Amino acid sequence: MGISVRANTQAAAATNGHEAPEGVDLARVPVWDDPAHGHVVGVKRALDIVLSLLLLVFLAPLLLIIAAMIKADSPGPVLFRQTRVGRWGKPFSMLKFRTMFQGADEKKPELLHLNESEGLFKITGDPRITRFGRFLRGTSLDELPQLLHVVTGEMSLVGPRPLVPDEDERIPAPSQVRLTMRPGMTGRWQVAGATRIPLLEMVEMDAAYVREWSNFEDLKLLVRTVPHVLRRRGT
């Protein structure tokens, strides 16, 4: 079951007082907060909470092992915080396991000319990535701390990719409908191979996901994410 889209001025109520992203027609925004569809949206949020809590408990030993390996591999904190753009364009501090040496962000400008991706920064053999960090990225295990954001409601298990501010600034206005949903740990971009997809194509996939969303679609994407991770095709 999906969320209907209504084309009238009452759609503004779906923002719960938040300002719509620039260029997004509120008359075409999926009605996430419409009481008539509350049960559908409630199922998504309930699944987020239950599954993320279960995963945090089940994966606790693995999380501790990863933390110990990071500390043994290189000096610095276990977790890395980075500003990402969340729902309604609100920035939040996203957690990941640290995969780079300290001071990596300061070295990024020196490596921009080596960027191999359209939009997202990626270079083969990035010298800033630690030995264990390369494994974490390859398996997407560095993303596991984001389960905490799912519990708190800043993220969802499935949703649009959370971009850093400078990436978000380059997104065409019509595609910013993606900001009407919580960003996700996985999504269509993940199972399609995020690092190989140009930024503008990725956000179009996100926008299509928002317009076509259903709980069944989320379940399919979660199932497809598992073999993707096992094949070590990280983001």
The per-residue pLDDT for range 11-37, each reduced to its tens digit, is 444 455 556 566 555 555 554 544 445
- Alpha helical stretches, state H, 88-198: 104-111, 131-139, 147-152, 165-168, 188-191
* Residue 161 within a domain: yes
Lowest-pLDDT choice from 58-67, 157-166, 192-201: 192-201
* Residue 59 within a domain: yes
Question: Within a 10 A sphere around the Cβ of 49, how many other Cβ atoms?
Answer: 15
* Residue 139 within a domain: yes
Identify the domain containing residue 154 by its residue range. 38-230
* Residue 98 within a domain: yes
Mean pLDDT of 92-99: 97
Q: Is the pLDDT of residue 150 over 90?
A: yes
* Residue 8 within a domain: no
Q: How many domains does the chain have?
A: 1
The sign one gets for the Cα dihedral 193, 171, 40, 25 is: negative
pLDDT at 185: 96
pLDDT at 38: 57
* Residue 84 within a domain: yes
The pLDDT confidence band at residue 161, using thresholds 50, 70 and 90, is: very high
* Residue 19 within a domain: no
Cα torsion through 52, 152, 192, 130, rounded to 10: -90
Distance CA 82, CA 91 (A): 10
> Which residues have CB under 8 Å from 165's CB, separation 6+?
83, 85, 91
| Residue carrying structure tokens 């408990």 | 57
* Residue 104 within a domain: yes
User: Given 3-state DSSP classes, what are the helix, strand and coil percentages for the chain, each rounded to the nearest 5?
Assistant: 55, 10, 35
